[in-house]
Amino acid sequence: MSEKNQSLESFWMPFTGNRAFKKNPRLVARSNGMFYYTPDGREILDMVAGLWCCNAGHGHPAIVEAIQTQAAEMDYAPPFGFGHPAAFEIAETLTTLTPEGMNHVFFTNSGSESVDTALKIALAYQKERGQPSRTRLIGRERGYHGVGFGGISVGGIPYNRKQFSNSMIPGVDHLPHTHLLDRNAYSRGIPEFGVELADELENILTLHDPGNVAAVIVEPIAGSAGVLIPPKGYLKRLREICDKHDILLIFDEVITGFGRLGDNFAAQAFDVTPDIITSAKGLTSGTVPMGAVFVRDDIYNEFMSKPGVAIELFHGYTYSAHPLAVAACKATQKVYADEGLFQRAADMAPVFEDALHSLKGEANVIDVRNYGLMGAVEFAPIDGQPGMRGAEIIQKCFEADLMVRVTGDTIAMSPPLILEESHIQHAIETLRTVLRA
């Protein structure tokens, strides 16, 4: 690999074909703005914001400085029984971005931890309010909620569950996914058909009795499964059914939060207010690991209203509200606000949409979909080798200095919100060239 001929063997890479990677490594060594740089200096256009997270672009000087300053000032502060002022300050700032009445936040270090935290809060809340029979959880096919046992249990990506099939948390059901290729292919923005898929929730509730169900968790837009946009009216219908049966609705906004859809959260973009929002990634623009779970005031107050209880929730992480993460988060949020990046995402979305949809008609393209600055192009699989075409395309793109994300035979893009029209054109034309070759 390098002059030192260092082996790649020791690092067991996550969600990666280790053997294939180590034969043909795709390494990046430096980043700035919209770009990564390989160890030998090639400039790679980053159309995924790292992994859907670097919303402010790479190496923003204000964020870099905040992290450096904090590292020198206080490296770590214990979050159990102690606090540091900036944690309370950023919590308050963040709750100005959430829907009304959602003014409390629990800090974690990742999306997976945010999901498991949200599920635990939902379960504990039902007990606290005197409804201990409400223990069941409902996720959705093709949902990705991270890799904790809770997250894979409510998640709906078969490969992520298969190796652990006997160890899922009990009492979980799944809604059908909403990817209706035959009816909704090439939708621009919100697809027209499929609101009735939300009604399946009523059937699941009838089967188990609503009084046994704690919460429903969905990604407003499924990201990892290939950018699946909810059909028109679908999220509202889920909200109505949850309200009718007094069930919590959790939006997993690990990807959709912090400007990705041109608004603070998908909750605002789609005008549907959940009871709990999970987040991570864009929270710190991917600079320092951090997650956050936002809860409605009455959920928090339920825990706080019990007399004589010392610790209200037996849950937390050594690194909850880590000073470096908090500093990064504060600086990131200031950059988002000062530079109007959420609005910028909204402004660039139509340009992104037009460019993506110009790929309709290219070889093997079977769908293009988009919302805000999330987009995907789906390809017909090679016969008997699902995923192979997608893998080839991202390799060819990387060789052509373009970073995109692949899931199966779908290429996804979720660029930093700082991108310019020229980046969009360059990315789409590079992809077009790869497809034509």
Residue ranges that bind ligand PXG, judged by CB under 6 A: 51-52, 110-112, 115, 144-146, 219, 223-224, 252, 254-255, 280, 405, 407
Label the pairing between strands 35-37 and 30-32.
antiparallel
Closest approach of ligand PXG to the CB of residue 85, in Å:
26
Q: Which is nearer to ligand PXG, 111 or 139 (CB)?
A: 111
Minimum CB distance to ligand PXG smaller for 260 or for 303? 260
Nearer to ligand PXG, 134 or 145 (CB): 145
| Residue (128 or 153) nearer to ligand PXG, CB | 153
Nearest residue to the partner ligand PXG, using Cβ: 111
- Cβ at position 356, least distance to ligand PXG in Å: 17
Whole-number minimum distance, CB 51 to ligand PXG, in Å? 5
In 211-230, which positions are buried (b, 16+ CB within 10 angstroms) versus exposed (e)? eebbbbbbbbbbbbbbbbbb
CA distance 118 to 167: 20
User: Cα–Cα distance between 369 and 117 in angstroms, integer?
Assistant: 31
Contact 316, 389 (CB under 8 A): no
| Least distance from ligand PXG to the Cβ atom of residue 5, Å | 30
Amino acid at 118: A
Give the span between the Cα atoms of 288 and 86, in whole angstroms: 15
Nearer to ligand PXG, 318 or 433 (CB): 318
Cβ-count burial of 120 within 10 angstroms (0-12 exposed, 13-18 middle, 19+ buried)?
A: middle
Of the candidates 399, 365, 397, 403, the one whose C-alpha atom is nearest the C-alpha of residue 381 is: 365
β-pair type (172-175, 213-218): unpaired
Choice between 98 and 210, CB closer to ligand PXG: 98
The CB-side HSE value for 271 (13 A sphere, CA atoms) comes to 2
- Minimum distance, C-beta of residue 145 to ligand PXG, in the bound complex (Å): 5
CA distance 108 to 114: 6
Q: Two tokens at 87?
A: 């944690």
Least Cβ distance, residue 231 to ligand PXG (angstroms): 19
Nearer to ligand PXG, 51 or 77 (CB): 51
Tokens of 408: 């199966």
Q: Which residue has the tokens 């001929």?
A: 5
Q: Toward ligand PXG, which CB reaches closer, 214 or 404?
A: 404
> Least distance in Å: CB of 233 to ligand PXG?
22
Q: Which residues are within 8 A (CB) of 19 and not within 5 positions of it... i.e. 6 or more apart?
A: none
| Cβ at position 182, least distance to ligand PXG in Å | 24
Angle between helices 234-244 and 200-208 (to 10 degrees): 20
